[in-house]
Amino acid sequence: MSAPSSRGFRVRALPGIGEIRPGDDLVAVIADAVAAAGEPLADGDILVVTSKIVSKAEGRIIRATDRERAITDETVRVVATRPTADGGITRIVENRLGMVAAAAGVDASNTDDGTVLLLPEDPDASARLIAAGLRERTGKLLGVLLSDTLGRPWREGQTDVAIGAAGVHVFDDLRGTTDAAGKPLLVTLPCVADELAAAGDLVKGKASGCPVAVVSGLGRLVGDLDLPGARSIVRPAERDLFRLGTDEAIAHGMAAGRSAGYSAGRAIGFAEGFAAALSAAERERVRV
């Protein structure tokens, strides 16, 4: 992290990207916007692309009336549920990409009325297509991240994270290196892809119609197109300490505990009842 190139970077929003329609060629759209902006892309630039416009270009649009079914279709596993202000239920689920996201990442904002957006079919593949196309068009060594906005446990609000990546190191692997005091940084694994997505959100904004940010000056994080994608950021549920919502986990435990406790209590109770009846019968016989 001490290379001069890493001492500073710039993040700019790419203006002039209009509404994206199914079938649009995002490589051409982005290249045109870059040309119109008057600042060409440079080696080591990283483009942070809002996944929403990739979904639109890929035609991942469905009728809003199918939203709940769409969430169910995208769901691998329900992690937790939360009542909404309007009396509905928000499902926080693990989706087919392994991501844990509210409503499985199905999105009803920035869409035409009556429609909702699904996440790209394969965000890492989409990022690779855009990165490869832009590298070919510009001859520059570029990285591409697809970003989405996620809430998180324990902290209010949302931050943008990387759900797709191509040509970018998603982790700045410090394991094996040492800190300034010479101690090994054993468990430190900064997720630079998520940090880049967060930086991009600071200029893209949700309402500004600027779905692409360009990060310049962090070329040390750019590499081959076959680097591990954002899928590698997802922690498998079986290794996750928070794989289930607290209420859901308590309910699971309750059910298991109740049946175990019932069997144990019934056996004890049977013995107690039997003994009580015998001593009652005994008293009777004595009276005779």
Of residues 138 through 177, those in contact with a copy of itself by CB under 8 A are 149, 152-161, 171-172, 174, 177
- Per DSSP bridges, beta strands 143-152 and 46-50 are parallel
Alpha carbon 16 to chain centroid distance?
28
Q: Could you say which residues in the range 76-135 bind a copy of itself, by CB under 8 A?
A: 80, 82, 92, 99-100, 108-113
47-76: which residues touch a copy of itself (CB under 8 A)? Answer: none
Among 274, 283, 286, 287, the residue binding a copy of itself under the rule CB under 8 A is 274
Interacting residues with a copy of itself between 9 and 38 (CB under 8 A):
9-13, 15, 19
167 Cβ contact partners less than 8 Å away, ≥ 6 residues apart: 128, 131, 135, 141, 142, 143, 144, 222, 223, 224, 225, 227
Measured between alpha carbons, how far is 226 from 232 in angstroms, rounded to an integer?
A: 12
Q: Which of 166, 186, 214 is nearest to 16 (CA)?
A: 214
Name the residue nearer to a copy of itself (CB basis): 139 or 257: 257
* Residue 28 or 186 having the CB closest to a copy of itself: 186
Indicate the residue among 92 and 127 with the shorter CB distance to a copy of itself: 92
- Minimum distance from CB of 122 to a copy of itself (Å)? 18
> C-beta of 54: minimal distance to a copy of itself in Å?
16
Binding mask 179-218 for a copy of itself (x = CB under 8 A): xxx-x-x--xxxxx-xxx-xx-xxx-xxxxxx-------x
What's the DSSP call for residue 4?
G
* Smallest separation, CB 162 to a copy of itself (Å): 10
Give the binding range for a copy of itself (CB under 8 A) out of 28-36, 67-75, 125-133, 272-280.
272-280
> Rounded to an integer, what is the distance from CA 244 to the centroid of its chain?
15
Residue whose CB is less far from a copy of itself, 133 or 201 = 201
- Shortest distance (Å) from residue 288 CB to a copy of itself: 10
Going edge to edge, which strands form the sheet with 75-83?
75-83, 89-95, 100-102
Cα–Cα separations (whole angstroms), residue 278 to 213, 266, 283, 286: 83, 18, 9, 12
Q: Which is nearer to a copy of itself, 26 or 171 (CB)?
A: 171
> Residue count at the site for a copy of itself (CB under 8 A)?
107
Using CB under 8 A, which of 8, 23, 87, 176 touches a copy of itself?
8
**Rounded least distance, CB 138 to a copy of itself, Å:** 20
**Pick from 51, 107, 97, 57: which is nearest to 74 by CA?**
97
Residues of this chain, 231-270, that bind a copy of itself according to CB under 8 A:
232-235, 240-247, 249-270
Nearer to a copy of itself, 130 or 213 (CB): 213
What is the rounded distance in angstroms from the CA atom of residue 268 to the CA atom of residue 173? 57
Residue 42 or 244 with smaller CB distance to a copy of itself: 244
Q: For a copy of itself, which is the closer residue by CB, 139 or 262?
A: 262
Long-range CB pairs of 70-77, under 8 A, 24+ apart, other chains included: 70/104, 70/106, 70/116, 70/118, 71/103, 71/104, 71/106, 74/104, 74/105, 74/106, 74/118, 74/119, 75/104, 77/237
Q: Please count the other Cβ atoms lying within 10 Å of the Cβ belonging to residue 14.
A: 23
